[in-house]
Amino acid sequence: MMTRLLLAACACVALLPSAAVAESSDPWEGFNRGVYRFNDVIDRYVAKPAAQAYQAITPQPVDDGISRFLNNLLSPITLVNELLQGKPAAAAATMSRLMFNTTLGLGGFFDVGAKMGMPRTNEDFGQTLAVWGVGQGPYIMLPLLGPSTVRDFFGRFADAPADPRAHISRDAAYGILGLNLLDTRADLLSAERLVEGDRYRFIREYYLQTRAFDIADGVVESDPFLDDSFGPETGPAE
């Protein structure tokens, strides 16, 4: 997961010149920056220190296993949305992964499915709405929850019935949610050094580009890292 995060962040830096497109998607920037400052204070004094402590006391194999467990727990959301998007083959693979990881993988702590040639996919109702042709709407920074769009915000509610946390006790659900936030924040610690310039703008660009990448299932029209201008020239010098 960290490799994907780091690559996505690097791609975001490379794509910063396209900020005019993102800014047109952020008509509520003044409000969003205010929420971002609030979130940043919470992160600086609560979330980040907690994540650093968690990372310091958690061995890497255990940390990786917890990440896999949390990802496996949310697999039903991916399964439902793959069906809604008309991807029966992907849904069958997700179902198989879920069964193998939950049983042989001890609840997903071990990724048995990946070893059997079934890599993890991630779908949610925000992506489903995009596939159905619903526009993303303005970018919005949510208190505590972070970056989103209007489309993704409403998608969160539609995903709730497929979320296993909605069907367990409230205390357990809050415990799993807290662990998920802590684990995710800890995974982002090493990526912070890639953030340059305006942090708000960087996070906005990163979120919008990553969501576009996920909605397209990784199929991009152009890749700055594959462009000839980023590599050595192989043709004859003129």
Provide the residue-wise pLDDT of the chain in tens; the chain has 238 residues. 444 444 444 444 444 444 444 456 899 999 999 999 999 999 999 999 999 999 999 999 999 999 999 999 999 999 999 999 999 999 999 999 999 999 999 999 999 999 999 999 999 999 999 999 999 999 999 999 999 999 999 999 999 999 999 899 999 999 999 999 999 999 999 888 888 789 999 999 999 999 999 999 887 655 444 444 434 444 444 3
Cα Rg of the chain, angstroms: 19
Place of tokens 């001890």: 106
Closest by Cα among 222, 70, 43 to 147: 43
138 CB-side CA count, 13 A: 10
Segment 44-103, tens digit of pLDDT: 999 999 999 999 999 999 999 999 999 999 999 999 999 999 999 999 999 999 999 999
pLDDT of residue 221: 58
Distance from C-alpha of 73 to C-alpha of 84, rounded to nearest angstrom: 19
The residues facing 140 across adjacent strands are 148
Classify residue 97 as exposed, middle or buried by CB count within 10 Å of its CB (0-12, 13-18, 19+).
Answer: buried
Domain parsing of the chain, residue ranges: 2-222
pLDDT of residue 224: 46
CB 140 within 8 A of CB 28: yes
Phi/psi for 114 (5° steps) reads -65, -40
Distance from CA of residue 97 to its chain's centroid?
19
